[in-house]
Chain A
Amino acid sequence: AQSVTQLGSHVSVSEGALVLLRCNYSSSVPPYLFWYVQYPNQGLQLLLKYTSAATLVKGINGFEAEFKKSETSFHLTKPSAHMSDAAEYFCAVSEDQGGKLIFGQGTELSVKP
């Protein structure tokens, strides 16, 4: 069965610092992997997705993630945090053709001035 684990329900960084949000997945077949962001009182917005084309995936707002099969990880990074990055981030996996997503518990990112 598929599952996603996000390490750390809350991460706090200073403005300009590196952002690293961790995601590990479990899947019996090569997965599709996603990162979504949710700003307060808004729906989810896709940041980036991995669909086996390239292991390093670049997304919107300067975020990127690297698929590491040996570590079953898909960590999200951004070199320099902005105040506007404060939000909740969700990692998700899908391994069937139906597109059904299995989400992690989410990581709330705070950015300190």
Chain B
Amino acid sequence: GAGVSQSPSNKVTEKGKDVELRCDPISGHTALYWYRQSLGQGLEFLIYFQGNSAPDKSGLPSDRFSAERTGGSVSTLTIQRTQQEDSAVYLCASSLEGGSYTEAFFGQGTRLTVV
């Protein structure tokens, strides 16, 4: 596609429910990142996928958070037993290859509200 696509754009869920957020990266991009943007914490790194390498999960805030990337393309971020503090905008980005010298292109995000 033309850009990074995220779905849904908005999600309201009840506390304790599981949610899945989807990211379609730009075709051909081997690197994929998830970030979280919240009022209190700003923009935080969550997880990074690069090709077939083991993902960098160092930013995941708890074991309720997990992500996978199937076939080196689409990624799903799953939050189990959602809590109110999980409310945030979840941003996905992709780049042609991993590395700080390549530009990361961001999607418009999924706004998650836990009620």
Contact = CB atoms under 8 A, between A and B. Distances in A.
Interface of A: 32, 36, 41-46, 49, 51, 90, 92, 94-106
Nearest to B43: A103
Contacts of A92: 43
A96 B100 contact: yes
A43 B3 CA distance: 11
Contact of B42 (A36, A43, A45, A105): A105
Contacts, number: 63
B67 interface: no
Interface of B: 4, 31, 33, 35, 42-45, 48, 50, 56, 59, 91, 93, 95, 98-109
Chain A, interface SS category? loop
Contacts of B45: 100-102
Contacts of B105: 46
